[in-house]
Chains A and B, each alone.
Chain A
Amino acid sequence: MIDLRSLSRRGFLNMAAAGSASLALPGLVRSASAATALPAVNEKDAVIGFGHVGPVTDEGWTWSHHQGVLAVKEKFPNLKKVLEVENVPYSADATRTYRQFVSEGANMIFDTSSTGDFLHEVVRRAKDTAFMECNGHVLMDNLGWYYLAHWYPTYVLGVAAGHLSKSGKLGYVASFPVASVYTSTNAFLMGARTVNPSATCQTITINSWFDPQAAAQAGTALIDNGCDFLFGIMDEAAYLQVAEKRGVWAAMWNTDIRRYGPSSYVSSIIIDFKDYYVEQVRKRLAGEWTPTESLFAMGAGVDRDAWGEKVPADVGKAADAVRTKILGGWSPFVGELKDSKGAVRLAKGQKMSEMDLYNWDWSVEGVTGL
């Protein structure tokens, strides 16, 4: 059975209601039940804040969000202030940073890396400020969230990994045992197992999204263990460089960073927040903003990158065929699915919903280390 405990009742009801509408805009979009829109703000009086988990120069996650910030500045050149803070820690310092945004008059604040309770503490006390939490899980009258349905392109990369890996041992450099990591490892291995049913995925968590040194060590350890294909969910390119040096394949996240390991590079989960940020800011200024929950669909904010130069054409073609199938509405996330202990968690024929995938909190058979 799918674990529905993590879904709120409202979330569950909205999910059912939005079932048909979810084809319209980017992926799944739902809005809070009765929240009224915050009043309009003049562009020249408006203050917009962004808090990032890492540095904007990471060429990865934070860099991608920074491109969104630049797009907002370009579209709304007369904004009074755009506040942007890097390296917001996952601690009470995050609360202090977002409170500082509010006391500087922020009308809208984006938390680009879900600081959870630390953000919500501020949300509750700043009712006139609109908040958006990336990879958030909570909806309030002035708080919405957005994330990417990365599991689809990840599944596509998994298919490629199944073809490319000779040992069938896939390695994964993970941050924390959180839902996005469970979903990512599971989707990756499920894709690979369609080609090589005995493939496994060994995971190492390094307790950080941005720690190049630890990521490189984890990559080395995985290769030493026999893995010949590395994937992960890091904000930077460290384990790609390790893969290049050791002559194994690697797939990445966030941006096209093939120049760090041109012969190892397979592809990347490419992300794009520009249009979304511009649209959210436009709504806030126009007085139309209400808290919403959005999951960007594959092709609308998240996708796979162009295949690496050493990836054989037939492998790319085989993986892309799966991508086309998914774009046509097919879902690979259908039972029977067993967890890493061998228990059946999803009955035969049962399909996981977008929210199930978003909140996945167990490993499928063959994934170890989480």
Chain B
Amino acid sequence: MADFRLQRLPSATPAAALGARILAIALALIIAGVILAFVGKNPLALGLQVVTSSLGSSFGLEDLGLLVIPLILTGLSVTVAQQIGAWNIGAEGQFYAGAFAASAVGLFAPLSGGWSLVGMGVAGAFGGLVWILIPALARAYANVNELITTLLLNFVAILLVYYVSTDAWRERGGVANSATPRIKAEIPEFWGLVHWGLPIAVLLALAMAGLLAFTRWGYEVRLIGSNPAAGKYLGIAARRHLITVMLLSGAIAGLAGMLEIAGSVHRLQGGISNNYGYLGIMVAVLARGSSIGVIFAAALMAFILNSGIILQTQGLTTSTVLAITGLILFLTAIGDELSHYRVVRDKS
């Protein structure tokens, strides 16, 4: 009698990966649907509402287009760091640091119009870069785990933004909540609410994919990431690469913060990130290390988040929506892992 056993493959075939993902999402939706039916909601009507609202109207599509911008960039930030084997859990903090630096330029630098936007973009990327500088150096020279250092700096950045937006830079009089005055330089919109940050984010993802796939630098980075010992043996400057890649990762997250300020929020204030930094980790997991995959993973994430808002207008509570979102992502992650396995038959 033949024995069956599971064999783990180093990388899943694209067909298996896609199949597992579709299966996981379908399963999550079925579970959620059954639960909703039990509490007296009509899951099919809700599903139809989600699809028609988000994909069937220009309002819905614009919302997706706007939401996907920061998700692409924070997802890309985490993915880039992953290439060299670093976990950037601090995209949230770098997002805030970028927003902070960009706002400083937008509010106080004597630049006008387009130059102000360029200045804000440079400042945003630089802000994110500075925010990851210490974790990058600590990891490179003292082997300090970047998971902890990048994570802890998130709280510092968030509180820094709260401090300036409720104190030093606050707009006096007449505003609803604490925020800086409105920043004059705004990224133009090209489609409803959607601004030019979208093509910038997509192009950046494509450029990163190209750099990693086709340049010597990209090859060395990926090599160190998958096998540090081999990289050392080959004489690759691992430390320099590690620092560069981590700084790049921080700069990308900082740029996300700048685009959010100049593109849609226009004032520096607490809470602007909407957890985009943490969601970026999820996007990176879904993208499975592919910079181009980040675009699609971010689109999926945007669709899930936007569906959550639609479901809330249909009378579902925030916690129910959060539970459904969590279920989808949880099962997707399990499906991804399972797609690495295949069943083989032992002949004895």
Contacts and interface: CB of A to CB of B under 8 A. Distances in A.
Nearest to A118: B265
Contacts of B143: none
A96 B67 contact: yes
A100 to B, nearest CB: 5
Interface string B227-269: 0000000000000000000000000000000001000111101
Nearest to B264: A92
B53 interface: yes
A276 B53 CA distance: 31
Of the listed residues B179, B310, B313, B318, the one surrounded by the most CB atoms of chain A closer than 10 A to its CB is B313
B175 interface: yes
B60 A92 contact: no
A342 to B, nearest CB: 19
A5 interface: yes
A99 B182 contact: no
Contacts, number: 106
Interface string A209-246: 00000000000000000000000000000000000000
Contact of B172 (A49, A102, A361): A361
A49 B274 contact: no
Given A96-B63, A97-B309, A99-B63, A137 B174 contact: yes
Contacts of B192: 125
A359 B260 contact: no
A3 interface: yes
Interface residues of B, number: 41
Number of chain A interface residues as a range: 35 or more
Given A87-B318, A89-B274, A117-B267, A5 B173 contact: yes
Nearest to A113: B176
Contacts of A118: 265
B92 to A, nearest CB: 13
A359 B174 contact: yes
A30 to B, nearest CB: 16
Nearest to A101: B313
A114 B176 contact: yes
B53 A137 contact: no
A133 B66 CA distance: 24
Nearest to A99: B59
Interface in A30-54: 49
B178 A176 contact: yes
Contact of B178 (A135, A136, A178): A178
A91 B182 contact: no
Contact of B162 (A83, A99, A104, A207): A207
B312 A85 contact: yes
Given A104-B313, A177-B166, A177-B178, 15 more contacts: A6-B173, A55-B317, A55-B318, A85-B312, A85-B313, A89-B274, A91-B271, A95-B264, A96-B309, A135-B176, A178-B175, A179-B174, A207-B162, A361-B172, A361-B174
28 contacts: A84-B315, A85-B312, A85-B313, A89-B271, A89-B274, A90-B177, A91-B273, A92-B274, A93-B274, A95-B264, A96-B306, A96-B309, A99-B59, A100-B53, A100-B313, A103-B57, A103-B59, A103-B60, A115-B176, A116-B176, A117-B265, A135-B176, A137-B176, A176-B178, A177-B170, A179-B174, A359-B173, A361-B172
